[in-house]
Amino acid sequence: MDERVPRDFETLRTTILERRHSLPKRIAQIAAYALDNPDDIAFGTAASIAASAGVQPSTLIRFAQQLGFDGFTSLQLVFRERLRERNSSYDERLAALRAKAEEGAGHRAIFDGFVAAASTSLNDISGRLNEEHFEDAIALLAKAETIYVLAKRRSYPVASYIAYALGKLKIRNQLIESAAGLNAEMIGFASPRDAVIAISFSPYAPAAIEEARVISEQGVPIVAITDSSFSPLAQFAKVWFEVAEADFAGFRSLSATMALAMALTVAVGEKRRDAGRKRKA
Amino acid sequence: MDERVPRDFETLRTTILERRHSLPKRIAQIAAYALDNPDDIAFGTAASIAASAGVQPSTLIRFAQQLGFDGFTSLQLVFRERLRERNSSYDERLAALRAKAEEGAGHRAIFDGFVAAASTSLNDISGRLNEEHFEDAIALLAKAETIYVLAKRRSYPVASYIAYALGKLKIRNQLIESAAGLNAEMIGFASPRDAVIAISFSPYAPAAIEEARVISEQGVPIVAITDSSFSPLAQFAKVWFEVAEADFAGFRSLSATMALAMALTVAVGEKRRDAGRKRKA
DNA sequence: TATGGATTGGAATTATTATTTCATATTGCC
DNA sequence: GGCAATATGAAATAATAATTCCAATCCATA
């Protein structure tokens, strides 16, 4: 065993991919299986793995030997090590972050707390996004002449990001700011051919709700991002998204909302480009 | 085996913790070891685990039986299952997201791409935050009379969030907006007793850089959040943070920057509260 | 402190699993 | 198309690991 044996999964993976085409059929078969089902290699027995991959146990051992290991067992160790590391690389780290943050050890803990809250929120939303609503929202926004973006206070940063991104994508948009008292007039210009993205979380800013009400009464369709079905925003909206953000130290994360906002914006941009192309053709 | 056997790790854990005090000494010893080193149980052999825990293999089996399993092997399955799930619950899921996003399957892929980018960025920053810089920045900002917040374009949402949070914490602050032409005068008011949080990423908005230069020449200390040591912002800053945000579809995530911004803000708030308390005492 | 029951250690046993071997099949090459 | 080299399948064998068993020890209780 003087030749260089891959001792970590990434090296192993690379090695396999390099040699892929020079491997005999059955060996290639088990190689593909190994990269596709690393967990099975980590936990299975030579016999069970061979069966799942549709080869003989001896082939599995030859595969290991071809890679420079002295048997299946040593190959398996690499797959097990990977699981150990992977595992500690996230969930446990997040748990550790949370634990550190909770026991409140100084300023670093504050940082860890916010990182953990943001990660949790992202994790959560990625499983919960309603794909139909997402498509509906994109369709609705893509055909709008002007997209109005409405959000106050905590949600305002998201709105300003949307406005920035829409601008970069050359999509006409209007941010309804809280600052000047011109909101009423701005809203007055909106027509049913336009659309609104409204964002508001509990405790809902009264101004945001009121403006959403007025604008929906003008027949302008609203896409809302909010935090529950009881949200007053939901009742005015054509489509609405529920985003649950984790909080830390009384401040809620914005990461999930941001990710959704970015995705909406870019998807609308893409949809418009596609539509434009079709019209020309 | 009619009694209820814990089939998932959490249940098992709870069961062990409940019975902890009624277990015989050696069994308790292996129980503690199991909860402390779940990975070892998942991968080890009865003999190796027993040795590490300082008991006999037979004790390990008795432990498993006491919990209702019919042997060590079935107990081990629970520990292995946990690793599988844990693993697929994040890293692999993220990889899957990325893969889906890359193969570009419709709008859902866009969403997945942004979620993945945000997760990656958070993951990254949590390992890279320089704790000393963080403490320095907090100290510097905590003693400022007014905190100026300076950011344009893509970074503006972060600035507006900081301004909002500082306001909620009753810390005097001033957002230097790009809109009106009053920036120069606003900046003119800043003194060395104040401080600035400046945020800018490549391609650096010229206005942001210019304003940072002017304000630093007035002797106002700057805390910068930027993306590399070559950033023009870094040279004006007393303390600066490097934040590497992953991007998707040409838009960069803001999640790591946001988390850092929130942490900074809240930490400053906390430091001020502490200082206030001490002064009174 | 004697006694019964529970607990533990250590070796023997049994089961499972990896590996080797050898006959057979396949492939590439002249 | 025939030959050698290589690859594959299947079963035998060797190794390893789980489990069981029994004697020794510990502990609570009378």
| B254 and B198 in a common domain | yes
| B264 and B164 in a common domain | yes
Q: Is the pLDDT of residue B214 over 50?
A: yes
Q: Would residue A181 count as lying in a domain?
A: yes
| B227 and B147 in a common domain | yes
Q: What is the mean pLDDT of residues A147-168?
A: 94
Q: Would residue B103 count as lying in a domain?
A: no
Return the pLDDT at B223.
97
| B64 and B15 in a common domain | yes
Q: Is the pLDDT of residue A179 over 60?
A: no
Return the pLDDT at A10.
82
Give contacts of A243 with chain B, Cβ < 8 Å: none
Return the pLDDT at B103.
62
Strands A222-226 and A173-176: unpaired
| B243 and B138 in a common domain | yes
Q: What is the mean pLDDT of residues B245-253?
A: 90
Please name the amino acid found at residue B208.
A
Percentage of chain B with pLDDT > 90?
A: 47
Q: Would residue A114 count as lying in a domain?
A: no
Structural domain ending residue among the three candidates B71, B88, B105: B88
A102 pLDDT tier (thresholds 50, 70, 90)? low
Q: Would residue B200 count as lying in a domain?
A: yes
Q: Is the pLDDT of residue B70 over 90?
A: no
Q: Is the pLDDT of residue A153 over 50?
A: yes
Instruction: With CB atoms and an 8 Å threshold, state whether A255 touches B258.
Output: yes
Give the closest-approach CA distance of A142 to chain B in angstroms: 13
Least confident window among A50-59, A160-169, A257-266, B131-140: A50-59
DSSP per position, B49-106 = HHHHHTS-HHHHHHHHHHTT-SSHHHHHHHHHHHHHHHHHHTHHHHHHHHHHHHHT-H
Q: Is the pLDDT of residue B2 over 50?
A: no
Q: Which residue has the higher pLDDT, B273 or B186?
A: B273
B147 pLDDT tier (thresholds 50, 70, 90)? very high
A26 Cβ within 7 A of any nucleic strand D atom: yes
Do residues B254 and A161 lie in contact, with contact meaning Cβ atoms separated by under 8 Å?
A: yes
Structural domain ending residue among the three candidates B37, B62, B88: B88
Q: Would residue B52 count as lying in a domain?
A: yes
Q: What is the mean pLDDT of residues A252-273?
A: 94
Return the pLDDT at A267.
94
Helix (H) or strand (E) holding A222: strand A222-226
Q: What is the mean pLDDT of residues A220-243?
A: 90
Structural domain ending residue among the three candidates B88, B111, B146: B88
| A148 and A54 in a common domain | no
Q: Would residue B119 count as lying in a domain?
A: no
Q: Is the pLDDT of residue B275 over 80?
A: no
Q: What is the mean pLDDT of residues B238-257?
A: 92
Instruction: With CB atoms and an 8 Å threshold, state whether A156 touches B153.
Output: no
A266 pLDDT tier (thresholds 50, 70, 90)? very high
Q: Is the pLDDT of residue B237 over 80?
A: yes
Kindly tell me the sign of the dihedral angle through the C-alpha atoms of A187, A193, A197, A203: positive
Return the pLDDT at B255.
96
Separation between Cα atoms, residue B47 and residue B30, nearest integer Å: 12
| B245 and B192 in a common domain | yes
CATH assignment at residue A234: 3.40.50.10490
| A143 and A34 in a common domain | no
Q: Would residue B115 count as lying in a domain?
A: no
- The SS3 of residue A54 is coil
The conformational region for residue B197 under phi > 0 = left, psi -120 to 50 = alpha, else beta, is beta
Return the pLDDT at B90.
58
| A257 and A150 in a common domain | yes
Return the pLDDT at B157.
95
Percentage of chain A with pLDDT > 70?
A: 86
Return the pLDDT at A1.
37
| B200 and B133 in a common domain | yes
Q: Which bases of chain D come closer than 7 Å to a protein CB?
A: 6-11, 16-21, 27
Which residues contact residue A190 at a Cβ distance below 8 angstroms, ignoring those fewer than 6 apart? A146, A148, A196, A215, A218, A220
Q: Which two tokens stand for residue B60?
A: 């390990």
B158 pLDDT tier (thresholds 50, 70, 90)? very high
Q: Is the pLDDT of residue B7 over 70?
A: yes
**Can you give the distance from the CA of residue A25 to the C1' of nucleotide D10 in angstroms?**
18
Please name the amino acid found at residue B222.
I
Distances from the Cα of A46 to the Cαs of A41, A72, B124, in angstroms? 8, 7, 37
| B169 and B55 in a common domain | no
Q: Which two tokens stand for residue A277?
A: 């192309």
How many CB atoms neighbour CB B20 within 10 A?
12
Please name the amino acid found at residue B37.
N
| ∠ CA A215-A217-A219, rounded to 5° | 80
Tell me the per-residue pLDDT of B93-135, one tens digit each, with 9 for 90 and over.
Answer: 566 666 666 665 678 889 989 999 999 999 889 888 988 999 9
Strands (E), chain B: 147-151, 173-176, 195-199, 222-226, 239-242, 247-248, 251-252
Q: Domain tally for chain B?
A: 2
Q: Is the pLDDT of residue A148 over 80?
A: yes
| A196 and A133 in a common domain | yes
**Can you give the distance from the CA of residue A58 to the C1' of nucleotide D9 in angstroms?**
9
A199 forms beta bridges with A151, A225
Q: List the single best residue of A112, A200, A262, A268 to mutate versus B (max B Cβ within 10 A).
A: A262
Q: Is the pLDDT of residue A96 over 70?
A: no
**Can you give the distance from the CA of residue A66 to the C1' of nucleotide D6 in angstroms?**
14
Q: Is the pLDDT of residue B241 over 90?
A: yes
Separation between Cα atoms, residue B95 and residue A72, nearest integer Å: 27
CATH assignment at residue B39: 1.10.10.10
Q: Which of B83-97, B167-181, B185-199 has the highest mean pLDDT?
A: B185-199
Q: Is the pLDDT of residue A89 over 70?
A: no
Q: Is the pLDDT of residue A166 over 80?
A: yes
Q: Would residue A2 count as lying in a domain?
A: no
Structural domain boundaries, residue A41: 9-88
Instruction: With CB atoms and an 8 Å threshold, state whether B118 touches A118.
Output: yes
DSSP 8-state symbol, B8: S
Residue with tokens 């990254």, as numbered in its chain: B124
